[in-house]
Structure formats: C-alpha cells, structure tokens
Amino acid sequence: MSTGGLLCYCRAGFEPELAAELTERAALALQAGYARAERGTGYVVFACDDGAALSRALPWHDLIFARQKIELIGQLPALDPRDRVTPILGLLAGSGRFGTLLVEHPDSDDGKPLAGLARSFGNALRPALRKAGILSSRDDERAPRLHVCFIAGDHAFVGRSQPADSSPWPLGIPRLRMHADAPSRSALKLEEALLVLLDPREREQLLQPNMRAADLGAAPGGWTWVLTRHGLNVTAIDNGPLRAELLDTGRVEHLRTDGFAWVPPRALDWMVCDMVEQPRRVAERMATWMREGWCRHAIFNLKLPMKKRWQETRMCLDLFAEQAQRPLTVRARQLFHDREEITILASATR
C-alpha cells in the first residue's frame, strides 16, 4: 500500500463528493492515484507515489469539498498508547523542519471523541519535537505545518501543509461566533464566505461603505445584516418578513417580490443570493446577472441534491461559466457553515 498522497478533511457525509473531485482533478492534471473514502469519516485519502507533485497540481484554493489539504508523510496504524511519541519521531526523521504542530482528528462522529487525546498528546509531542530539532522553538507561521491526525487512539496520519496552500485553521474550520444581534444563523455563512473566499486586501477593496447590494431570498435578514455591518446599502428581496431592526438602520429597502424576476434599476456592486431553489435554476439566474452586468460581484449558494452531488456541482458551475459569457473570477467552496450546499463567489474581471 502506498503511504504517499494527500489527506483532505471534509464535511462528514461528503467523502464521496470529495473523492470524486480529487479523482477528476488529479486525472485532469495527469497525476496517477486513487481515492480511499468511507462515508461519515470526515476525510479522504488520495494515495499516489508523489504526494508533493500531486499537492502542487491540486491547489487547495481550487478544491470545493476539501476543508484542508495535507501532504502525507506516512501513517502509523498500530500505535502503542504507552508511547506514541517515539514512532512519530522515527517517521519524521529526514522530513525537514516544521514551524507549527497541529494534532487533529476528523470532524466526524468517530473523530470528535478524540479531541481530548489530540489536545493532551499535542502537549506531550510538542516539546519532544522541539528537542529533536524537528519543530521550531517558537511557532513560525510561514514554515510548513506538521499535522498529526488521529482517526483512532492507536492510528494516526502524519503529514505537512504549506501555509500558502492550505487552510490556516485547525481542522480547516474557521470558528465564528454567532452575534447576538444577527437575525439568523445564516449570517455566519456569509461571514465565513467573505472570510474564506476573499483575501484581506480584496475584503478591504471590494466591501466599502455606501456600496450598493441586493440580497435575493433575504428573510429573515442574516445576510442583509452582514452587508449593512460593512456599511453597504441593501435592497432585500423576499416575500417573507425581515427583522424590523434592519429597516431601522436606514440602509435597507425591503421589496416583497420574486428574486428570480427582479432586475435592479441600475448596476450594483454586489448581489448575494440564498434562495432555496433547484441549483440549476439558481446558477442560470446568477449567470444572467453577471452577463447583463447587473452586479460586479456575487456570492450565492447552490443547494445540492441528495444524489450525484459532485456531478451536479460540476454541471452547475460549467453552466454558470458558459451562460455568464464574460471573464469571471470564480471561487467555490463547501463552507463549514454550509450544510447540503456550496457557496460561490463570482467577480467580473476587468
């Protein structure tokens, strides 16, 4: 069995989608290998001979279903609970130096009970790695990160991630706190999308006070609330009621009308859309917005069907790109706060 390859985390239940994505993208990049995935585990291993080459061919930012991408150094499937440190030091001999250590577990029903072990083992492993010269004496955020991922008390994957080509958060999960004033939990989805799909410079440039936005399928108003907090003026489209406090901001106009039919009277900076509808129908409407230049930037959700979710994802993104008929920057991701859906950012490139 090859021990090289990639270990990627995902939302539990989406392993087949991540496996299909990795398989298809690796084949397109002419990289040989195969995915090993078990539903509900929260991770997928893509085994190959040259993990570093595969990792370069599959940039983390382009992956939709991977929360994190780790280049495997090896796995230790029969660790002795009395001494898990020595085999890890042995495995890492000759693997270079690391800037930080993350001891993790998959975000799954089987993985979550390993959180206590991961925490306490990290405290034991860190000084041993430093003493052996494998880990920087102080955390160095620019150097490769070392990941030890327990999938059982006696079974761990060991690998590295490159800070510029991976998620900065443990388990690939940005922990956002629900704000007491937010009208709905959905607010966290848009907050995460802005955090993950834009870099800090883009966030500053593209979200400026008094920009104009539309929110299609806005009720009860979580996404509209996020936009107003960035100082944007929002036309919120939904037949359902919006939280009254939003209207008090003076930045929100509520129109009770159909989000698939409404056309802005003049071009907007942003359009966001969280309408629960068939993904193809949403993708087509979003393409119309971009093609007609009704907005410069868009963030929208595609609610995925129960089956053939990778195929549906590909089909919708292809259809969107084709029908938009203009050069766009498109980034897609299943966010931590997404459930059976993915979130897409589309920006008109000048």
Ligand X SMILES: C[S@@+](CC[C@H](N)C(=O)[O-])C[C@H]1O[C@@H](n2cnc3c(N)ncnc32)[C@H](O)[C@@H]1O
Minimum Å distance from CB 211 to ligand X? Answer: 18
The answer to whether the CB of 333 falls within 8 A of the CB of 343 is yes
Residue with smaller CB distance to ligand X, 269 or 340: 340
Angle between helices 309-324 and 279-292 (to 10 degrees): 20
Q: How far apart are the first and last CA of the chain?
A: 48
Is residue 220 close enough to count as binding ligand X by CB under 6 A? Answer: yes
List the one residue from 240, 249, 281, 325 that touches ligand X (CB under 6 A): 240
DSSP string, 50-63: -HHHHHHHS-GGG-
Helix (H, G, I), strand (E, B) or coil at 12: coil
Minimum Å distance from CB 212 to ligand X? Answer: 18
Is residue 111 close enough to count as binding ligand X by CB under 6 A? Answer: no
Footprint on residues 155-194 left by ligand X (CB under 6 A)? 183-184, 186-187
Minimum Å distance from CB 159 to ligand X? Answer: 36
Is residue 127 close enough to count as binding ligand X by CB under 6 A? Answer: no
List the one residue from 30, 180, 276, 306 that touches ligand X (CB under 6 A): 276
Residue with smaller CB distance to ligand X, 31 or 343: 343
List the one residue from 109, 199, 258, 322 that touches ligand X (CB under 6 A): 258
Pairing mode of beta strands 5-9, 43-47: antiparallel
The residue range among 13-21, 171-179, 214-222, 309-317 that interacts with ligand X, by the rule CB under 6 A, is: 214-222
The residue range among 91-99, 102-110, 255-263, 317-325 that interacts with ligand X, by the rule CB under 6 A, is: 255-263
Is residue 279 close enough to count as binding ligand X by CB under 6 A? Answer: no
The answer to whether the CB of 221 falls within 8 A of the CB of 184 is yes
Is residue 260 close enough to count as binding ligand X by CB under 6 A? Answer: yes
DSSP string, 211-259: -EEEEES-TT-HHHHHHHHTT-EEEEE-SSPPPHHHHHTSSEEEE-S-T
Find tokens 């001494």 and name the residue.
83
Residue with smaller CB distance to ligand X, 29 or 178: 178
Is residue 274 close enough to count as binding ligand X by CB under 6 A? Answer: yes
Spatial distance between the Cα atoms of 195 and 64, rounded to a whole number of angstroms = 15
Residue with smaller CB distance to ligand X, 70 or 242: 242
Minimum Å distance from CB 322 to ligand X? Answer: 23
Is residue 33 close enough to count as binding ligand X by CB under 6 A? Answer: no
- Enumerate the active-site residues: 303
Handedness of CA 301, 54, 22, 14 (dihedral sign): negative
Residue with smaller CB distance to ligand X, 51 or 221: 221
The residues facing 295 across adjacent strands are 268
Q: Which burial class, exposed, middle or buried, applies to 349 when counting CB atoms under 10 A from its CB (0-12, 13-18, 19+)?
A: exposed
Minimum Å distance from CB 224 to ligand X? Answer: 7
Per-residue HEC secondary structure of 118-159 comes to HHHHHHHHHHHHHHCCCECCCCCCCCCEEEEEEEECCEEEEE
Minimum Å distance from CB 238 to ligand X? Answer: 4
Footprint on residues 286-325 left by ligand X (CB under 6 A)? none
DSSP letter at 65? S
The footprint of ligand X (CB under 6 A) covers 183-184, 186-187, 217-223, 237-240, 258-260, 274-277
